[in-house]
Structure 1
Amino acid sequence: MANSELDNWHDYRVVSRREIVALLRQIAEKNQLVRMLVHGEADVCVTSILDVDPDNDTLVLDRSIDRDQNRRILSAGKVSCETSLDKIRIMFKLENVRETEYEGSNALEADIPETMVRLQRREFYRMATPVTNPVRAIIPLPDELGGGTASFPLADISCGGIAFLDREHQLGEAMGQTFEGCRIDLPDIGPVVTGLEIRNMFDVTLLNNKTSRRFGCMFVNISRGNLSNVQRYITRLERERNARLAGLG
């Protein structure tokens, strides 16, 4: 993929070295196949990441079984790579590709990329929200449910909606209902106001053996500004998760 195309996905670019190392390690640990594009789609090698060594700024990949293709890879010295992780498409470029030996076999070595690009349909990508000090959705209740407002802890969030827990069963059988003027207070970002349509619900048993009802909701008539704030919060959660993974690595 050309740099001009990558620029179209600037909002999804990962530039933190710790996050990049964490992502590469996850790809390696899950044995995800990596499509290595030598000269575009016409010359593709399917490989995998064998090792990530941030101390030496290198990663090791399996070499092509095709000798001629290996020569083309080494001659080019740089390749574009595509893979996926948790249903998210990931792209990156490798520079300074050279031959190496790994566990007694020939392999390819390259510099750890300075950036990676994550492509995902965020309306379907849900990010778990904190369990301790949870984010809360404030929902105005209709008269038949007692009126006033009720506060519910979030379970996850996406750019398409949220899931929350109704531990006191305040909403009853709300399947298909739409609640207008709901507020979600996102830490360090601010409140998001939107309508919420209940799309699914099911009962879950908590660690204390109490039953809670989990509602999955779709945003209704959410403004562009509010949606932008939701995306900013999801990005922050991703960065915090990757930083934790990098710290454990």
Structure 2
Amino acid sequence: MQPINDVGLENWHDFEVSSRREIIALLRSIGEKNQLVRMLVQGEADVCVTSVLDVDADTNSVILDRSIDSAQNLRILRGQRISFETSLDKIRILFSGEGVTETTFENAPALKLALPVSLIRLQRREFYRMATPLGNPVRAMIQMPEELGGTTVGFPLSDISCGGIAILDNKLVLGDTIGINYEGVRIDLPEIGAVTTTLQVRNSVDLTLLNNKTNRRLGCHFIDISRGNLAMVQRYITKLERERNARIAGLN
């Protein structure tokens, strides 16, 4: 599963659940099915696994299991905003909250969180990765740092999802630094339009090709992508999927 910050909760209005009744039902189901919940205290640098112990509709609160690390519990209590991610019936659930406090549940220490006013529910389709054309590749136009010339270079996409893209760096000019951001990246999606966003490198894999040359695949996620740009990405993925299905149907 991709990290929660692959998503940017403020950018997923189309998948937002704001009904109090539905939020309570979803969180209770997560607890009843003993689904593990990732609690991100300070992003991916500080993560613990918890579970939903109870959802109290009368007090609008969610009771969570504590971390086994006492120092981490202190960071959770002091944290300004905590992010959570889990899944329910193969649907990804994301939410966040403020002001975690100490409480007890069934005579054991626990944590209490105010019932979130909304959460994000993403079915697998939203993060479905679609391979992009190889013959006439879509390119991500990235401005190089000044130490690398400051020019704009196009990198072919390997695949695309609503969470991000994978690009191929066959000249190994970008390096493999995880976490680096490239701002103002332009991606021209055929028949859809141009998407501009910030990319953050999340993983790097060096590939050895049949001719013994090395290519580098960089997995990147969108940072603060606008709702309009995100909608264009979704339309392009749908377009690619339709074209693939048409090819498959033509072979039958």
Per the normalisation by structure 1, the TM-score is: 0.51
Equivalent position of 1:225 in the other structure:
228
5+ residue gaps in structure 2? 1-13, 15-89, 92-121
Q: Which residue of 1 aligns with 2:158?
A: 155
Matches within 5 A, 1:15-54: none
**1:85-164 to 2 correspondences below 5 Å:** 120-164=123-167
Distance 1:176 1:123, change over 3 A: farther
The alignment partner of 1:231 has SS state of helix
Whole-angstrom CA distance in 1 between matches of 2:163 and 2:213: 29
- Could you tell me how far 1:145 is from its partner in structure 2? 2.7
Aligned to 2:212: 209
Q: How many Å separate the matches in 2 of 1:197 and 1:122?
A: 22
Q: How far apart, CA to CA, are the structure 1 residues paired with 2:229 and 2:210?
A: 33
1:181 matched residue in structure 2: 184
1:161-207 superposed Cα distances (whole Å, 9 cap, x missing partner): 00010001110233210111000010111110000000000111234
Tell me, in whole angstroms, the C-alpha distance in 1 between the residues paired with 2:128 and 2:207. Answer: 21
Q: Distance in 2 between matches of 1:122 and 1:240?
A: 17
State the shift of 1:136 in Å.
Answer: 0.3
From the superposition, tell whether residues 123 and 160 of structure 1 become closer, same or farther in structure 2 (CA, over 3 Å): farther
Q: Which whole-Å CA distance do the structure 1 matches of 2:227 and 2:152 have between them?
A: 25
Q: Distance in 2 between matches of 1:157 and 1:247?
A: 24
Query: Displacement of 1:247 after TM fit?
Result: 1.0
Higher Cα Rg, which structure: 1
1:171 to 159, 163, 174: 174
Cα displacement string for residues 79-126 of structure 1 (whole angstroms, at most 9, x for unaligned residues): xxxxxxxxx99xxxxxxxxxxxxxxxxxxxxxxxxxxxxx94344310
Deviation of the 1:210 alpha carbon: 1.4
In the alignment of these two chains, the number of paired residues is 135
Give 1:196's aligned residue. Answer: 199
CA RMSD of aligned residues (A): 2.2
Match 1:236 to one of 232, 235, 239: 239
Q: Distance in 2 between matches of 1:223 and 1:236?
A: 20
Q: How does 1:64-75 map to 2 (within 5 A)?
A: none
Q: Note if contact 1:193-1:226 (Cα within 8 Å) is conserved in structure 2.
A: yes
SS at match of 1:134: coil
What is the distance in 1 between the residues matched to 2:207 and 2:177? 16
CA distance in 1, matches of 2:138, 2:250: 24
Q: Which runs of 4+ in 1 moved over 6 A?
A: none
**SS state at 2:124 partner:** coil
TM-score by length of 2: 0.50
Give me the whole-angstrom Cα distance separating, in 1, the residues matched to 2:136 and 2:213: 19
